[in-house]
Amino acid sequence: MVREVDKEAIRKWRKRGFYSENVLVKLLKKNGYNAVRIPVSNPSLNPLPDIIARKDAHVYAFEVKNASYYAYFPKQQVEKLFRFLNELVPLDNQFKHAVVAAHLGKKWIFKEINWADWEKNRLPEKVRILKRDRGNLNL
């Protein structure tokens, strides 16, 4: 049985993610990307990213987390980005990008995950982004 307090905590947690996803879509559009939030993205096994964006010939699949100091992206969520790009985007891998995005206060950090790591089954159990980190992708 789920208590009312638990339901409220879940609502707040989901609202934070929704907010960060919308902020990122606006940021991407401001920087010349075509971007949409996937409203049906969920913790299921479906290979759906939180956000899909395109700029020129490149397609980006984003997994987004809202946190205060650090964000963790479990391997399963990163794999879903690659599955989406691999199964549903008919381009060469050089044009497809799996990106984890951490919204840490007013700061965004983006980390693109390497295709070779996914193809060779070498993804880490979780990808971690700390507030002091530098990303490897600039918008």
**Would you please indicate which residues are annotated as catalytic (active-site) residues?**
41
How do beta strands 96-104 and 58-67 pair? parallel
Residue 114 dihedral angles phi and psi, to the nearest 5°: -75, 130
Q: Residues 16, 66: contact at Cβ < 8 Å?
A: yes
How do beta strands 70-74 and 126-130 pair? antiparallel
Distance in angstroms between the alpha carbons of the first and the last residue of the chain:
44
Q: Residues 33, 15: contact at Cβ < 8 Å?
A: no
